[in-house]
Structure 1
Amino acid sequence: MANHKSAEKRIRQTARRTEINRNRVSRIRTFVKKVETAISSGNKAEAAEAFKAAQPEMMRGASKGVLHKNTVSRKLSRLSARIKAL
């Protein structure tokens, strides 16, 4: 348990940031899942549309520090390749 005023404040701030970051990651996962389901259904147009919506969301997560930039780039690249293969 925190003994200093500043430590108590850090706990509050961390809790707030954790909640925001958890929401961001969840939102990114939802967008990626939409792309995945469109790919598995074999609908290239729908998959491309879902990918177009997911791309800025994922990059925003990288810029906010929720996910690493290279991780996001790798995932986008792999999704893109799978869409092109349809």
Structure 2
Amino acid sequence: QHPDRDAQFRYLNEQARDHREAGQPVISVDTKKKELVGEFKNNGRQWRPAADPVQVNVHDFADPQLGKAVPYGIYDLAADTGWVN
């Protein structure tokens, strides 16, 4: 907890509001954690036909040829639109 954290967010919010009101674009960019690329186990759910599982790697070591992905998203506040890469 930084002592000026609240003041920093207030300042950013005021800047965003001022720029939106002036017709200038305001975007928000967010990066998520690195994810392995390939056939790795995922704890989410996916309905599959019985006896037809998705084959995955036994270990979750990074594939040297596929590497890792760093997903990020961009959101345009005024247009209420976004994009994830």
Q: TM-score, normalised by structure 1?
A: 0.33
Instruction: Considering fraction of residues, name the structure with more strand.
Output: 2
| Greater helix content | 1
Provide TM-score, normalisation by structure 2: 0.33
RCO higher in 1 or 2 (8 Å CA, sep ≥ 6)?
A: 2
